[in-house]
Structure 1
């Protein structure tokens, strides 16, 4: 879906909620192969059975990648990702957990180029229990409306 908007068109407090997506064993195996992260916490069911969580844990970077992908259902040609701040892995996600993403606009600020500003979107990933498993801030570099110089 396309949603062409300038920085001034966004309102603090705007929120979007994704549909759910269940994390599978295949997700974990594929992510391990792509990243080289074959730590036993993710790959060794027998070893994990002896640990406090008693089961394999999805990679935090997997949940981050999938969550950001789930939040990217709206494409704005006047905006691009500038990066991520305050990324935290709060609780583990396991095989069979279903995650959902809520994004909330929390700030708009100036950027070194007057033609653009920074839009800060809080990203919260929760699982089916309602527990927060990941949070971060996604920074978007967004074009200002022509002729507008401050927020």
Structure 2
């Protein structure tokens, strides 16, 4: 009796297995485009999406976070040394300087160097020197230092990063 029950049980399991694995009535020729999921993104697009997820500065127009952070820390170093000439190399001209509800555009490195002490006030310097690049605020306008004292961004072709505005 045990052998018969075992055989019946094996038979039932086999039938269940076979009916569960039975192929759909459609042949390969009957498969429509609605039955197939196609991924249209390439590996290159996927890697770009992955980079954007790892790049906290992306929304601010910064494509290379490593390059941006290096530039940020160089600017910080040069400001701490009051190296006007080196700081001027990290300005994306024209630089917008906002002060007491008025705006001024600094158009050249020479003009920036001449006005450095009026642009990089004590408060602006402190905001930058106390700012960790990883703690900056980022939005579509750029990367903000402190309470908006300095804004960093990228050139129109995204090939260079630098200071785009100062609020003192």
TM-score bracket, normalised by the shorter chain, equals: under 0.3
Q: Which has the larger radius of gyration?
A: 2
Higher helix share: 2
TM-score (norm 1): 0.22
TM-score (norm 2): 0.21
Query: Higher relative contact order at CA 8 Å, sep ≥6: structure 1 or structure 2?
Result: 1
